[in-house]
């Protein structure tokens, strides 16, 4: 695969690459690249995570040596799952199964847990070196990467360690590429700035979009920074009624999608259209069937997201017909994942404990 073909695959369904020129040159030079995604094991895998999962697959497919990093200590600092490390570790296990089910070649992926990094004194030396080269105000502003506001560090100082650890993770694993959602941008930009000061490898940052909550996107308040706004409106495991999980039944998926915010003709602030764009059409064009009522024009087949968007903007697809079609496709995506997890009884029982902890 040539450099330009690799770049096309990596660029699809991304919000930005910092910088695209650096990535193109790395591909053109034939460099052996190492990348990662760091995830907080904070609950059951929800469908919004499939956005980064598909991009993770793209990077593996183009030959990047990818690390799946379970940020267990980070989730602990962030008070996820009641701060219980045993539950946090249990929540990390099923992510590997999800990636396998969507076609990621896990034989080419290294799985790393935060425990492996924090047990090394060199890691903590990096944390301190980073701390000595960044201001307190910038660290506070970076707390949005963990879905927190700067004021929350006033009551729990450990929150301030989190951004420093995330940057240290990148340097400790000697990464060329840092993959994450747009909500992780501040950490990646901090890593790029610090790398220049301390002589570490400067990571290329690849940022994917965030799937909005099913309730819709609220108007941005003037007082909020963009990172805080993204944390507010994204699909979240902490709000089960506003998210779709890979453990949800077919009936639950249909019910949640039918109840989602879906204004006619509107695309940009429409979570149902976002599901179509970033999940259903994530890997390129495909056959998408919309069963419209006779009075709406009858059943049609759509083969690209652009075509779907055009039809919806022109009111040729009714919101309820769109919801039904999207729900049916999501069921096809989720069902095989759910079946794999249910087949492993011990893992499924652990997930049930995790789900119970999240909903308490």
DSSP letters along 96-137, please? HHHHHHTT--GGGEEEEEHHHHHT-HHHHHHHHHHHTTS-HH
For the stretch 129-140, pLDDT in tens is 999 999 999 999
Ligand-binding annotation for 312, yes or no, is no
pLDDT above 90 covers what percent of the chain? 73
Number of structural domains found in the chain? 2
Q: What is the extent of the structural domain holding 297?
A: 240-359
Is the same domain home to 114 and 9?
yes
pLDDT (0 to 100) of residue 224 = 39
- Say if residue 198 is in the same domain as residue 280: no
pLDDT band at 276 (very low <50, low <70, confident <90, very high): very high
Examine the domain organization and report whether 192 and 258 are in the same domain.
Answer: no
Tens digits of residue pLDDT in 293-309 = 887 789 999 999 999 99
Segment 47-60, tens digit of pLDDT:
999 999 999 999 99
Sign of CA dihedral 56, 228, 162, 152: negative
**Residue 160 clears pLDDT 80, i.e. is over it:** yes
Q: Are residues 19 and 161 in the same domain?
A: yes
Instruction: Flag whether 54 is marked binding.
Output: no
CATH code assigned at 118: 3.40.50.620
The token pair at 335 is 């069902």
CB 351 within 8 A of CB 359: no
Domain termination residue (choose one: 208, 230, 264): 208
* C-beta of residue 65 within 8 angstroms of C-beta of residue 35: yes
315 in a structural domain: yes
Q: Which of 208, 226, 251 is the last residue of a domain?
A: 208
Q: Which residue has the higher pLDDT, 358 or 20?
A: 20
> Which DSSP symbol is given to 45?
P
Which pLDDT band, with edges at 50, 70 and 90, does 233 fall under?
A: low
To the nearest 10 degrees (0 to 180), the angle between helices 49-61 and 85-101 is 60
DSSP for residue 224: S
Output the pLDDT for position 337: 95
Q: Is 176 a known ligand-binding residue?
A: no
- Produce one character per residue of 276-309: b if its CB has 16 or more CB atoms within 10 Å, e if not: bbbbbbbeeeeebebebeeebeeebebeebeebb
100 and 28, same structural domain? yes
Q: Looking at the predicted structure, is the pLDDT value of residue 220 above 50? A: no
Do 140 and 48 fall into the same domain? yes
Q: Which helix (H) or strand (E) holds 276?
A: none
Q: Is residue 41 part of a domain?
A: yes
- Per-residue pLDDT at 242: 80
Instruction: Encode pLDDT of 14-43 as tens digits.
Output: 999 999 999 999 999 999 999 999 999 988
Per-residue pLDDT, averaged over 118-141, amounts to: 95
Residue 172 known to bind ligand: no
For residues 8 and 135, state if they share a domain.
yes
Nearest Cα neighbor of 98 from 337, 332, 330, 282 is 337
Query: What pLDDT shows up at residue 239?
Result: 61
Cβ burial, residue 221 (10 Å; 0-12/13-18/19+): exposed
């Amino acid at each position: 695969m040539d450099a330009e073909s690799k770049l096309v695959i990596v660029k699809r369904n991304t919000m930005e690459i910092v910088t695209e020129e650096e990535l193109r040159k790395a591909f053109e030079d034939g460099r052996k690249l190492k990348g990662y995604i760091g995830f907080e094991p904070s609950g059951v895998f929800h469908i919004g995570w499939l956005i980064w999962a598909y991009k993770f697959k793209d990077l593996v497919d183009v030959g990047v040596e990818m690390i799946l990093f379970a940020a267990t200590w980070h989730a602990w600092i962030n008070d996820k799952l009641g701060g219980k490390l045993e539950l946090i570790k249990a929540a990390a296990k099923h992510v590997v199964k999800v990636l396998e089910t969507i076609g990621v070649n896990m034989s080419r992926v290294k799985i790393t847990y935060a425990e492996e990094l924090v047990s090394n004194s060199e890691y903590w030396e990096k944390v301190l070196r980073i701390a000595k080269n960044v201001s307190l105000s910038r660290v506070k502003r970076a707390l949005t990467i963990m879905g927190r506001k700067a004021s929350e560090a006033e009551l729990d100082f450990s929150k301030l360690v989190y951004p420093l650890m995330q940057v240290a993770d990148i340097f400790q694993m000697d990464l060329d590429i840092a993959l994450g959602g747009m909500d992780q941008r501040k950490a990646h930009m901090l890593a790029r700035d610090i790398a220049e000061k301390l002589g570490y490898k400067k990571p290329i940052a690849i940022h994917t979009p965030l799937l909005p909550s099913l309730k819709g996107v609220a108007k941005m308040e003037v007082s909020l920074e963009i990172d805080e706004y993204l944390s507010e409106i994204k699909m979240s495991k902490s709000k089960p009624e506003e998210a779709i999980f890979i453990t949800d039944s077919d009936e639950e998926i249909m019910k949640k999608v039918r109840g989602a915010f879906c204004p006619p003709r509107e695309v940009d602030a429409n979570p149902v259209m976002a599901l179509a764009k970033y999940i259903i059409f994530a890997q390129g064009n495909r056959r998408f069937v919309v069963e419209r009522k006779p009075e709406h024009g009858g059943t049609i087949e759509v083969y690209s997201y652009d075509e779907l968007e055009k039809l919806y903007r022109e009111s040729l697809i009714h919101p309820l017909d769109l919801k039904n079609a999207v729900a049916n496709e999501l069921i096809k995506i989720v069902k095989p994942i759910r079946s794999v997890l249910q087949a492993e009884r011990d893992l499924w029982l652990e997930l049930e404990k995790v789900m119970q902890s999240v909903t308490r």
